[in-house]
Amino acid sequence: MKKIVIPLIIVMLLAGCGHQENRETYALLDQFVHETDTPDSQVYLVSHTQPIQYFLKPQGSLTEAYGAVKDHRSPLTGKSFKKVVSEQAFTEICQQQGKKIYFNPLKANQFGIHLIDAPLPKKATEGTTPYQLASNAASKDYVITTSKPFFLKNYAIACIFYAAETQKATTRSLALYQKINGKWTKTYDFRLEKW
């Protein structure tokens, strides 16, 4: 009997962890997209994640990234980044990348997140970004590409790399969210242009 019960408990725990990660991922993205939203524009989320290297400069590294942000203090909590996320935890993020996540359209719709296929590559001209937005995105709209959200400290902290793109500009950033009163709250946001 023990031989059956123990594996069953392990499977149930693993399934529960998967469901929690899905719930937390969509709750985090919902908060993230709503923070980006502006009254006169629409926010679209690219329907699949990108690896972290997509958000760093060509020879950029997470070690360099950590060194650049570790002493920054959160305007919300006053804590330095290194007090919230250790260098070891930040390094482990790179090892957790795994496969791309394809977001579920029905789940995304439930959270009010508009999914869009990846922007189409085009030849860059002076003053434009190297992408053209998909046909249903207007010039003032945002297209957001994200990494897989990385959860730390039993889903109390989440790191997410992202790129926000309009037809005029692209910015690449790292945001750190913390659970405050049961809600994901952005406590750090770093631009990655120099990384």
pLDDT tens readout for residues 138-166 = 667 788 889 989 998 899 999 999 988 87
Q: Give exposure, 144-179, as e/b (b: 16+ Cβ within 10 Å).
A: bbbbbbbbbeebebbbbbbbbbbbeebebbbbbbbb
Q: Give exposure, 51-75, as e/b (b: 16+ Cβ within 10 Å).
A: ebeebbeeebebeebbebbeeeebe
Does the structure show a pLDDT above 70 at 14?
no
Which has more pLDDT, 9 or 106? 106
Which has more pLDDT, 15 or 108? 108
Query: What average pLDDT does the structure give for the chain?
Result: 78
Question: Count of residues for the chain?
Answer: 195
Per-residue confidence at 11, pLDDT binned at 50, 70, 90?
very low
Q: Do β-strands 170-180 and 157-165 pair in parallel, antiparallel, or remain unpaired?
A: antiparallel
pTM of the model: 0.79
> Exposed/middle/buried for 141, CB within 10 Å: 0-12, 13-18, 19+?
buried
The Cβ of residue 111 has, within 10 Å, a number of other Cβ atoms equal to 16
Which has more pLDDT, 124 or 26? 26
Distance CA 53, CA 154 (A): 25
Which has more pLDDT, 15 or 195? 195
